[in-house]
Structure 1
């Protein structure tokens, strides 16, 4: 966790590659279990994400796996293969995917998840360090696809609105989500006044140089991360009306 030099629990990126891939697969399985509990008719109801139905969430998670397959292929072959042609085409793909019949969407999720897992299993050891580029323009090693997938499947399981919560996330995922969101805010110059106070963790000021009254946000690590990601206010203590900035 950022600003923490005494933490015993490892963050996601401190795990071995095999452990990181297992965490991504566990998240995919968790998403699949929640998806299986939702009837076809209930896929059309609004998700926990404003403006998206559950079908949008499933389409996005399915197409995300396909996009990450592109990065794995890029690392494997050396031929540049972007995740998506553009943000516009990505958004259009999700909107069109949300119109698919329920059975087709379920198949999309299963098929693309299996393709990604196969790509990971067959990627040679010396290609995991090959650099690829994320949709946000970051240059990262191919091993980062494990984190990109982990982040998607664990968070979007909550977005299905079927009872999943951040309290069920593995702690290494929570630790690195905290860092991810914090880094995004700092990079964008947002949330300077926020003081994050997860229980049992060091206090973290978004902008240590900020001069003025701090807005404290406290709760369990899972609650604070859920709030930071804009998903939940459960278990959070902060001033009335305080909302987190966007982070990605």
Structure 2
């Protein structure tokens, strides 16, 4: 399965989980500290919009930031979380569909164009489907409404684990993880903030 297919599979998991939530369920806590399910859904919607800005950069060559600032990103999520559940369902579905369509319309040259992520990394636009896959898959689970990693293809789970492990190693947490994963520690290490 290609990364682009993973994006569709993860998006379907996220959207079907959102559709199963009642309006009242949106106010319930998610697995993310301090965030309701509505916060998670708003974040996934605004992530699609941010990635669309990078697709626009890849298409035109005109630089565009994912978010003007961290504060702007946080304020968007907070305001989005206050929207009615029906509107959030509509927005998250529309932005996902539009992102997929706009990415698919990119030329081969556009997919190779370098764009800058919110973390400041330069990546080819061809990396955007993986960035989106990671968001929709992990946040589907964060909704704490039945979605789980067990239903995902093994190759997608492996890619997600490698990605997370690389980030944890870069954060200096590799040795503690190695001790635990090799059975040389009785308990899992305390890790830094959520990725």
TM-score interval (norm. to shorter) = over 0.9
CA distance in 1, matches of 2:110, 2:67: 21
* Residue matched to 2:38: 55
* Residue matched to 1:32: 15
Larger RCO (CA within 8 A; separation ≥ 6):
2
1:110 aligns with 2:93: yes
* Residue matched to 1:127: 110
* Residue matched to 1:215: 180
Q: Deviations over 1:25-80 (max 9, x none)?
A: 11111111111111011111101111110000000001111100000000000000
Contact kept? 1:185, 1:247, Cα under 8 Å:
no
CA distance in 1, matches of 2:52, 2:26: 25
Q: Deviation at 1:95? A: 0.8
1:64 aligns with 2:51: no
Matches within 5 A, 1:124-163: 124-163=107-146
CA distance in 2, matches of 1:54, 1:70: 25
Gaps of 5+ in 2: none
Q: Secondary structure at the match of 2:175?
A: coil
Q: Which runs of 4+ in 1 moved over 6 A?
A: none
Change (3 A) 1:247 1:176: farther
Alignment size in residue pairs: 195
Contact kept? 2:180, 2:187, Cα under 8 Å:
no
CA distance in 1, matches of 2:182, 2:189: 9
Provide the TM-score with structure 2 as the length reference.
0.93
Gaps of 5+ in 1: 1-14, 196-213, 219-237
Change (3 A) 1:194 1:94: same
Structure with higher helix content: 2
* Residue matched to 2:186: 239
Contact kept? 2:49, 2:95, Cα under 8 Å:
yes
Q: Secondary structure at the match of 2:166?
A: helix
* Residue matched to 1:10: none
Q: Deviation at 1:172? A: 2.1
1:187 aligns with 2:152: no
Structure with higher strand content: 1
Q: Secondary structure at the match of 1:34?
A: helix
CA distance in 2, matches of 1:52, 1:126: 39
Superposition RMSD on alpha carbons, in Å? 1.9
Contact kept? 1:185, 1:246, Cα under 8 Å:
no
* Residue matched to 1:42: 25
Q: Deviation at 1:247? A: 5.9
Contact kept? 2:48, 2:95, Cα under 8 Å:
yes
